[in-house]
Amino acid sequence: MRIDLHVHTVRGSSDSALGLDELIEQARRAGLDGVGITEHNNYWHDPVWDEQARRAGLTIFHGIEVSTDCGHILAFGIEGYVSGIHKAAVLREVADHSGAILIAAHPFRRIFERGPHIHNLLKLQNPTVAEAAAHPVFRLVDAIEVANGGTLEEENEFAVDVARYLGLPVTGGSDSHSANSLGHKATVFDEPIRSMRDLIAAIKDGRGRAVDRLLLVGA
């Protein structure tokens, strides 16, 4: 199964133009079996979306992308924004309480930018893999998004190295805010993922593989 685990829609992200019809149509074109909807600090769930998608052979997994003091974190299994989860340690507690999974989203975006002002998560220039792996976020999450559609390839590759160093599971997602990039990055599972419980277990056990568009075409 191919699931794009990082998607913003018009329904919950003011910076997105992706509606239900485009989502279904583009998911079909991209060969996706599922999408994870992860709006910024906003969880929603609409049975109409689920049902229309299901009829088109697409499973929607409802998650959330939380802005925290440790960067953006994707959560699946938390049904609603909970006060205090802008602190990653609190988000971890909430996740443990509800059996949710946490994924560090695009952790190394802007990591190789030069200049006097450093805007990346690590606040370091030219970090080594070991320095990056020491960031507290990686003791709080269950997995690392190593293929993100809004992130440079070298930043994604660095995330692969850090995930390997830490032995953490990986995911991929397009971070789409419009239809045309949907599915450009995704997570592939060799087993059917029918429910949120299946999804969480498969990621936690490291059974997901992050892939990019090239591997989706014709495969």
3-state secondary structure of 12: coil
Provide the 8-state DSSP code for 95: H
Q: Return d(Cα 10, Cα 199) in angstroms, integer.
A: 24
Among 2, 62, 72, 209, binds Zn ion (CB under 5 A): 72
Interface with Zn ion: number of residues (CB under 5 A): 4
CA–CA separation, 170 and 166 (whole Å) = 11
Q: Which parts of 87-106 interact with Zn ion (CB under 5 A)?
A: 105
Site residues for Zn ion, window 52-71 (CB under 5 A)?
Answer: 65
- Residue 39 in contact with Zn ion, rule: CB under 5 A: no
- Contacting Zn ion within 98-157 (CB under 5 A): 105
Rounded Cα gap, residues 163 and 143, in angstroms: 8
Q: Using CA atoms, how far apart are residues 84 and 91, in angstroms rounded to an integer?
A: 7
10 Å CB burial of residue 51 (0-12, 13-18, 19+) is: exposed
Choice between 142 and 175, CB closer to Zn ion:
175
Query: Would you say 41 or 201 has its CB closer to Zn ion?
Result: 41
Out of 100, 175, 182, 183, the only residue in the binding site for Zn ion (CB under 5 A) is 175
Nearest distance from C-beta of residue 143 to Zn ion, angstroms: 15
**C-beta of 41: minimal distance to Zn ion in Å?**
10
Least distance from Zn ion to the Cβ atom of residue 75, Å: 12
Region from 84-92, 95-103, 167-175, 203-211 binding Zn ion, contact rule CB under 5 A: 167-175
Beta strands in the chain (DSSP E): 2-7, 34-40, 59-68, 71-76, 101-104, 143-148, 170-173, 185-189, 208-212
Residue numbers at the binding site for Zn ion (CB under 5 A): 65, 72, 105, 175
